[in-house]
C-alpha cells in the first residue's frame, strides 16, 4: 500500500513537472511568435500600395471670349433690301383679336459704321427724330469711365448714313476721367436748325469724384456742319440726363435726371430731378426733386408737360406749366408711362406702361384738353413687353411700336405692331427676326428708337442687333416701308 502511494505521488509530480515545463516553454514562445507576427504585419504594410486619394474635380477652364469682329453686312453690302412672306409668319400663337398684315413691307437694313472695337455693348438707348426729310438716331459703346455716344443722319434719298457727333472726340477728356458713353435722351430738332440732346453715363460706378464727375450736359449739333456745342454744363448738378423732350415752339429743353451717386438701400426723391431749361436765353427755368425717370409728356397745343414723379410705374400725374414755372402740381389722375407719342391732331397723346415690371402693360389715351386718361388695353402680343418708343401717324389713327426694347424681342419674332386708335385693335405689320436670322445669321433684337416719316409711310428704327452671341453686340438701322394698303382708314 505504501508502495502504491509512493508511486502515485511520484507520477503526479512527474506530470506536474511536464505540464509546468510545457507551460514554461509555451510562455517563452509567445513573445517570439508575437514578434514574428509583428514583423510579418510590418512587412505587409511596407509592401502594401498606398490608397490613392480621390483627386478633386477640376473645373474646365472658361473659354476666352472670341476676338471682336467688326460687324458688317454679308458680301460687303451697304444695304440689305428684303421683303416676302417670311415677314408675315408669327413665331407662336397670337392672342385673340391680334391680326397680321396681308401685304409684307419692304425692309431696308444698314450697318452703322465705326463699330470697330468691342463695346459693353454697342447699344441704342434713346429716341430719335425725323426732320427735314432725314432720320436722326444715336447709340454708344457703353464703356466706362470713358466711352462715347454717336449721332447719325440717314438720308432716304441717297440711302447713306453719316456720323455727325462723336462725344469722346468732342470732349477730349484725359484718360481716367469721366466721359459719357450714351445718348439716352431724345434727339429733337428745333427751328434754329440744331438737334438738341443730353448725355448719360456708361456705368453708375464712375459718376463720382474718383473720376472727376461734374454732371452731364445739354448739347446741340448743326447737322449741316456737324459742329457740336455745349448748351448747358451740368444744369442739374452731379446728375446724368437720360430723359428729355424739346418744345421747339417755346425753345425749352425738359429733362429727367439720374443722380451720379445714389444709395440704393435708401432711395431719395432727389435721386431724380425735373429740369426745365430755356434754350434761347440759356437759363434754368426750374430744377427740382421727384422728376421723371424716363418719360415726359409734352402737349404741343398748350405747352404744358406732364409726368409721373420718380417712377416708370403707376403713379399720380403732375403738370408743369412754363407760363407759370414752379413746382409741378398734381392733376388728380393716375397712370403709368414709359414712353409716349406726340400730340395728335385730335388732341390725344398715347402712352404705354414700361412692361419691365408690369405683367401686362396698358396703352393709355391722354386728352390734353380735359386732362383725362383712358385705358385702351394691353400693348403686348406675347411674352416680351418692354416698350420704349411709340409713334403716332400724321392722321392720329395709327400708333406704332416694337416690344422688347432691352433685348429678346426675337422671342416674339421682333414684331412691328400697328395699334388702331379707332378700333383699339392690334395688327402686326412684320415679324422681323426670323427672316434675318435664317438668311443672314443676324437679326434685330430690340430698340429704344422708332420714328415715323412725316407722311407715315416709313417707320425707321435703330436696332440693338444679335448675331448669335449671348446678347446683342452691335447696332443696325432699319427703314420699314409700310404698304399703303395696311395704312388705310
The pLDDT tens digits of the residues spanning 71-83 come to 999 999 999 999 9
Q: Do residues 410 and 445 touch, judged by C-beta distance below 8 A?
A: yes
Instruction: Please name the residue ranges forming H helices in 154-290.
Output: 167-171
* pTM recorded for the entire structure: 0.87
- Using the CB atoms, write b or e for 306-320: b if 16+ within 10 Å: bbbbbbbbeeebbbb
Q: Do residues 107 and 145 touch, judged by C-beta distance below 8 A?
A: no
DSSP label of 488: -
Per-residue pLDDT reduced to its tens digit, 276-333:
999 999 999 999 999 999 999 999 999 999 999 998 889 999 999 999 999 999 999 9
C-alpha–C-alpha distance, residues 321 and 306, integer Å: 9
Q: What is each CA distance from 195 to 76, 246, 247, 347, in whole angstroms?
A: 32, 10, 12, 25
C-alpha–C-alpha distance, residues 481 and 83, integer Å: 10
C-alpha–C-alpha distance, residues 28 and 339, integer Å: 103
Of the chain, the end-to-end C-alpha distance in Å amounts to: 151
Q: Do residues 426 and 417 touch, judged by C-beta distance below 8 A?
A: yes
Instruction: Please name the residue ranges forming H helices in 314-461.
Output: 433-440
C-alpha–C-alpha distance, residues 108 and 220, integer Å: 29
- Quote the pLDDT of residue 300: 98
For residue 246, pLDDT over 90 is answered with yes
- Quote the pLDDT of residue 41: 47
| φ, ψ (nearest 5 deg) of residue 70 | -60, 125
C-alpha–C-alpha distance, residues 329 and 318, integer Å: 5
* Residue 481 falls in which region: left (phi positive, over 0), alpha (psi -120 to 50) or beta: beta
For residue 5, pLDDT over 60 is answered with no
Per-residue pLDDT reduced to its tens digit, 396-417:
999 999 999 999 999 999 999 9
Boundaries of every domain in the chain: 74-119+388-489, 128-294
- Quote the pLDDT of residue 325: 93
- Quote the pLDDT of residue 16: 37
DSSP label of 55: P
- Quote the pLDDT of residue 11: 46
Reply yes or no: is the peptide bond before residue 41 cis, omega within 30 of 0.
no
For residue 369, pLDDT over 70 is answered with yes
- Quote the pLDDT of residue 368: 98
- Quote the pLDDT of residue 48: 52
- Using the CB atoms, write b or e for 219-229: b if 16+ within 10 Å: bbbebeeeebe
Reply yes or no: is the peptide bond before residue 307 cis, omega within 30 of 0.
no
Per-residue pLDDT reduced to its tens digit, 185-234:
999 999 999 999 999 999 999 999 999 999 999 999 999 999 999 999 99
**pLDDT mean across residues, the chain:** 90
Per-residue pLDDT reduced to its tens digit, 17-62:
333 334 343 444 444 444 444 444 444 444 555 555 666 677 777 7
User: What is the pLDDT confidence band of residue 438, given thresholds at 50, 70 and 90?
Assistant: very high
C-alpha–C-alpha distance, residues 269 and 114, integer Å: 39
Contacts 24+ apart (CB under 8 A), 99-102: 99/425, 99/426, 99/427, 99/428, 100/427, 100/428, 101/418, 101/427, 101/428, 101/429, 101/430, 101/483, 101/486, 102/485, 102/486
C-alpha–C-alpha distance, residues 64 and 61, integer Å: 9
For residue 15, pLDDT over 50 is answered with no
Query: What does the DSSP assignment read for 165-177?
Result: EEHHHHH-PPTTS
List of residues 6+ apart from 354 with CB closer than 8 A:
294, 312, 313, 336, 338, 361, 386, 387
For residue 13, pLDDT over 70 is answered with no
C-alpha–C-alpha distance, residues 323 and 117, integer Å: 48
DSSP label of 210: G
* Radius of gyration of the chain, Cα coordinates, nearest whole angstrom: 38
Mean pLDDT value of segment 423-439: 98
Q: Do residues 142 and 148 touch, judged by C-beta distance below 8 A?
A: no
Q: How far is Cα of residue 407 from the mean position of the Cα atoms in its chain?
A: 6
- Quote the pLDDT of residue 54: 65
Amino acid at each position: 500500500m505504501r508502495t502504491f502511494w509512493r508511486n502515485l505521488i511520484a507520477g503526479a509530480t512527474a506530470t506536474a513537472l511536464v505540464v509546468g515545463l510545457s507551460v514554461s516553454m509555451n510562455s517563452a514562445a509567445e513573445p517570439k511568435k508575437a514578434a514574428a507576427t509583428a514583423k510579418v504585419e510590418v512587412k505587409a504594410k511596407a509592401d502594401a500600395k498606398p490608397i490613392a486619394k480621390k483627386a478633386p474635380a477640376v473645373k474646365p477652364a472658361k473659354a476666352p471670349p472670341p476676338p471682336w469682329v467688326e460687324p458688317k453686312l454679308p458680301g460687303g453690302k451697304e444695304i440689305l433690301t428684303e421683303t416676302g412672306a417670311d415677314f408675315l409668319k408669327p413665331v407662336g400663337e397670337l392672342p385673340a383679336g391680334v391680326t397680321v398684315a396681308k401685304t409684307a413691307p419692304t425692309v431696308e437694313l444698314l450697318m452703322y459704321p465705326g463699330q470697330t472695337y468691342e463695346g459693353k455693348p454697342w447699344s441704342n438707348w434713346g429716341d430719335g427724330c425725323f426732320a427735314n426729310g432725314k432720320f436722326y438716331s444715336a447709340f454708344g459703346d457703353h464703356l466706362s469711365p470713358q466711352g462715347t455716344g454717336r449721332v447719325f443722319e440717314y438720308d432716304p434719298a441717297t440711302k447713306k448714313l453719316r456720323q455727325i457727333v462723336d462725344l469722346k472726340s468732342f470732349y477730349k477728356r484725359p484718360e481716367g476721367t469721366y466721359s459719357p458713353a450714351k445718348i439716352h435722351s431724345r434727339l429733337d430738332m428745333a427751328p434754329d436748325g440744331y438737334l438738341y440732346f443730353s448725355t448719360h453715363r456708361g456705368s453708375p460706378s464712375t459718376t463720382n469724384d474718383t473720376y472727376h464727375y461734374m454732371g452731364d450736359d445739354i448739347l446741340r449739333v448743326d447737322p449741316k456742319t456737324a459742329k457740336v456745342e455745349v448748351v448747358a454744363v451740368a444744369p442739374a448738378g452731379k446728375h446724368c440726363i437720360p430723359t428729355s423732350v424739346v418744345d421747339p415752339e417755346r425753345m425749352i429743353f425738359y429733362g429727367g435726371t439720374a443722380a451720379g451717386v445714389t444709395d440704393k438701400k435708401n432711395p431719395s426723391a432727389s435721386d431724380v430731378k425735373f429740369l426745365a431749361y430755356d434754350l434761347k436765353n440759356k437759363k434754368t427755368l426750374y430744377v427740382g426733386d421727384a422728376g421723371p425717370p424716363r418719360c415726359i409728356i409734352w402737349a404741343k397745343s398748350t405747352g404744358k408737360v406732364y409726368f409721373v414723379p420718380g417712377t416708370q410705374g403707376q403713379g399720380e400725374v403732375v403738370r408743369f406749366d412754363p407760363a407759370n414755372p414752379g413746382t409741378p402740381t398734381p392733376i388728380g389722375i393716375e397712370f403709368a408711362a414709359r414712353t409716349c407719342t406726340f400730340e395728335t391732331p385730335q388732341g390725344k397723346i398715347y402712352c404705354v406702361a414700361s412692361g419691365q415690371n408690369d405683367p401686362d402693360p396698358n396703352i393709355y389715351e391722354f386728352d390734353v384738353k380735359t386732362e383725362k386718361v383712358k385705358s385702351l388695353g394691353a400693348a403686348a402680343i406675347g411674352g416680351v413687353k418692354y416698350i420704349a418708343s411709340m409713334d403716332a401717324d400724321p392722321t392720329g389713327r395709327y400708333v406704332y411700336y416694337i416690344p422688347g426694347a432691352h433685348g429678346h424681342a426675337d422671342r416674339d419674332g421682333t414684331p412691328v405692331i400697328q395699334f388702331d386708335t379707332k378700333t383699339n385693335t392690334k395688327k402686326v405689320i412684320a415679324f422681323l427676326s426670323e427672316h434675318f436670322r435664317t438668311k443672314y445669321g443676324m437679326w434685330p433684337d430690340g430698340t429704344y428708337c422708332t420714328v415715323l416719316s412725316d407722311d407715315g409711310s416709313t417707320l425707321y428704327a435703330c436696332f440693338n442687333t444679335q448675331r448669335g452671341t449671348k446678347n446683342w453686340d452691335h447696332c443696325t438701322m432699319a427703314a420699314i416701308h409700310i404698304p399703303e394698303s395696311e395704312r388705310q382708314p
